[in-house]
């Protein structure tokens, strides 16, 4: 304690008298500290330690414009899996709310991928894809893992995945590797499930990644980027409750903050705006809830008080076939919109649940 106050004397914050007492050097310091109520609130807030680096939650910032507060839709762990020194195929599944549109840009900007990133965005069928992939494999660098990105603009199918696996089987180098990355939109995931492609238990050498909401630590880093101060654990929880920590909603929150950076004054209107039926319907499309059989199925899942047991009864409530209901539940799991509970049930994402409820209220 003595060392700390002596240091503040040296910094010009405090001064001491002949009796060893300390006081503020200038009344202006008092003004900078805020009102009595503000100081009291700050003292009563729990003191948070600096966040530790955790690859499964850390998301790198955008490396271009410093005013661009976007963060990587992939965690550091997911990126390390893509860059691992082994051949393989990855399918990245996500919705617009999870930042799917940013995948290409962030992978391209990663310094570790310079010279090792190759988008294949011109292939229009399996034959063209096989030819382009073979050419890329032949030209890959001697050291490291070349990432071949197949964007949603390509009409890729399970056959393309099989071709990528066959291509990798022919590679024998112990120093240069190839990973083919298929980016799957919500519609792509539904199409794959309709084609009976199992994304929950994929084939060997196929890894499925999901764009999930951010962790509290990632939110904390991002709020610092945005210049939002005073967002302690409890306050971040308020932000997370409204936005679900989905990047699309967080970026909208950032845009609405304005120069004052007053997060509380922004959060309440944002919640009210999201719960307006017309806005809720629009936001549901950002989560991929476009097809009525999906929307109806998840709305029934939202209203179930316990774990899903009676699929037949639930599908009848949703006015869809049993197969479509099960497919919709799988679709939600793959996209991170429904998560397993310890009791074996499924918990629908809180934001999606709230949006569905807002739409249901207007329809009733």
162-177 confidence digits (pLDDT tens): 999 999 999 999 999 9
pLDDT of amino acid 131: 95
Count of residues in the chain: 364
| Mean pLDDT value of segment 13-28 | 77
pLDDT 10s digits, 96-134: 999 999 999 999 999 999 999 999 988 999 999 999 999
Q: Is a pLDDT exceeding 60 seen at residue 364?
A: no
Distance CA 220, CA 52 (A): 12
What domains, with CATH codes, occur in the chain?
2-44 (no CATH), 76-210 (3.40.50), 281-363 (1.10.10.10)
Decide: helix, strand or coil at residue 48. coil
Residue 360's Cβ-count burial label (10 Å; 0-12, 13-18, 19+) is middle
Read off the pTM.
Answer: 0.85
Q: How many CB atoms lie within 10 A of CB 213?
A: 21
User: Directed axis angle between helix 322-334 and helix 186-194, to 10°?
Assistant: 140
Confidence check: pLDDT of 38 > 70:
no
Q: What is the mean pLDDT of the chain?
A: 88
Decide: 117 and 83 in contact? Cβ < 8 Å.
no
Contacts of residue 92, defined as CB under 8 A and 6 or more positions apart, other chains included, come to 74, 100, 103, 181, 182, 183, 184, 209, 210, 211
Q: In 3-state terms, what secondary structure has residue 1?
A: coil
Q: Check pLDDT > 80 for residue 252.
A: yes
Which of these, 230, 222, 272, lies nearest to 247 by C-alpha position?
A: 222
SS (H, E, C) 319-356: CCCHHHHHHHHHHHHHCCCEEECCCCCEEECHHHHHHH
Is residue 174 within 8 A of residue 205, CB to CB? The reply is no
**Cβ-proximal residues to 250 (8 Å cutoff; 6+ apart), any chain:** 214, 219, 222, 239, 243
Question: Ramachandran region of residue 261, left (φ > 0), alpha (ψ -120 to 50) or beta?
Answer: left
Residue range 192-226, pLDDT digits in tens: 999 989 898 888 889 999 999 999 999 999 998 88
Which of 89-93, 109-113, 134-138, 229-233 shows the lowest mean pLDDT across its residues?
A: 229-233
Q: Identify the pLDDT of residue 46.
A: 64
Task: Give me the pLDDT at residue 42, please.
Answer: 64
Nearest Cα residue to 183 out of 230, 218, 139, 147: 147
pLDDT above 70 coverage of the chain, percent: 92
Closest CA to 290 of 279, 281, 299: 281
């Amino acid at each position: 304690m003595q060392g700390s106050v002596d240091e503040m004397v040296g910094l010009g914050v405090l001064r001491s008298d002949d009796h060893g007492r300390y006081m503020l050097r200038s009344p202006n310091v008092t003004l900078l500290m805020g009102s009595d109520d503000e100081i009291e609130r700050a003292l009563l807030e729990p003191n948070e330690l600096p966040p530790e680096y955790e690859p499964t939650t850390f998301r790198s910032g955008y490396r271009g414009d410093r005013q661009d507060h976007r963060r990587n839709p992939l965690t550091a762990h997911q990126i390390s899996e893509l860059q691992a020194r082994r051949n393989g195929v990855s399918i990245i599944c996500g919705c617009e709310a999870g930042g799917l549109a940013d995948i290409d840009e962030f992978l391209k900007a990663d310094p570790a991928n310079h010279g090792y990133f190759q988008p294949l965005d011109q292939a229009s069928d399996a034959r063209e894809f096989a030819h382009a992939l073979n050419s890329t494999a032949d030209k890959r660098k001697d050291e490291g893992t070349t990432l071949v990105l197949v964007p949603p603009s390509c009409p890729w199918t399970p056959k393309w995945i099989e071709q990528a696996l066959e291509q990798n089987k022919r590679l024998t180098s112990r120093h240069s590797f190839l990973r083919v990355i298929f980016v799957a939109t919500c519609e792509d995931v539904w199409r794959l499930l309709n084609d009976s492609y199992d994304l929950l238990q994929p084939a060997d050498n196929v890894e499925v990644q999901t764009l999930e909401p951010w962790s509290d630590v990632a939110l904390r880093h991002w709020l610092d980027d945005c210049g939002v101060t005073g967002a302690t654990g409890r306050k971040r929880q308020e932000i997370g409750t409204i936005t679900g920590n989905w990047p699309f909603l967080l970026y909208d929150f950032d845009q609405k903050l304005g120069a004052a950076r007053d997060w509380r004054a922004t959060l309440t209107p944002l919640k009210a705006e999201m719960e307006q039926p017309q806005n809720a319907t629009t936001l549901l499309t950002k989560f991929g809830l476009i097809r009525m059989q999906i929307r109806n199925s998840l709305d029934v899942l939202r209203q179930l008080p316990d774990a899903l047991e009676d699929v037949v009864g639930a599908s009848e409530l949703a006015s869809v076939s049993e197969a479509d209901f099960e497919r919709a539940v799988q679709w939600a799991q793959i996209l991170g919109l429904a998560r397993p509970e310890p009791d074996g049930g499924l918990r629908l994402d809180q934001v999606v649940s709230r949006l569905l409820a807002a739409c249901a209220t207007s329809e009733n």
